[in-house]
Amino acid sequence: MVSMRLLGWGVLVLLGTACGATRPAVVKVAAEEGTGGAGPVVEVAPHRYVDKALGFEFTRPGGEWMLDETDEETPEGLVIPVVLRHPTSGAQVVLQVAPALATPTQFAERLTEGLRSQPGFSTTDPQPLRLSDSAVGFDFSVGESVKGRVAVRDGSPGRVFMLLATWPATTPTEVLRNVDAVFESVRPLPDQT
């Protein structure tokens, strides 16, 4: 079942991010408006990031947040276009774009079940989020040291956006506000809904 393989991949990516597996960023000069495929960008002020191919946009936090463009893709069509990292705190946000083979609620429920089956993981139940009419999400922890959040929302036509954030339990509140701001800013491009 393809949707179960996507779920499995999502759990693997989430497990990898919870354990701190990331690729180093390459620093480039920031443009006024970033576009997908342009490479990682680091800048002081927040800027809009646009990926026309996958049909999404979000606002990148300023400060120490680094953007890694990965363009990883599974045979099932799950794409991991970007990872935002805050090197000082260890927080990160991974954006995944999946084929809409299930609703956001179904994806979130399956991710919750998958995480609960992993040693050391605990999760809340999926709850509706104000990100969109169909958005759902949940919080999780890995032991006492790692916290995280997942949000799944409708994407551009035929796609679902999954946001996976992890951070050490000691992460400052300001960094967590940046994570929330990224989650709230991710949306399909207006001309692709």
pLDDT at 111: 93
Q: Considering the entire predicted model, what is its pTM?
A: 0.77
DSSP letters, 114-166, are: HHHTSTTEEEPPPEE-TTSTT-EEEEEEETTTEEEEEEEEE-STTEEEEEEEE
Work out whether the CA dihedral 167, 168, 169, 171 comes out positive or negative. negative
For domain 2-192, give the fold: Protein Transport Mog1p; Chain A (3.40.1000)
Q: Using one digit for the tens of pLDDT, what is the confidence trace for 54-84?
A: 999 999 888 889 999 997 988 888 999 999 9
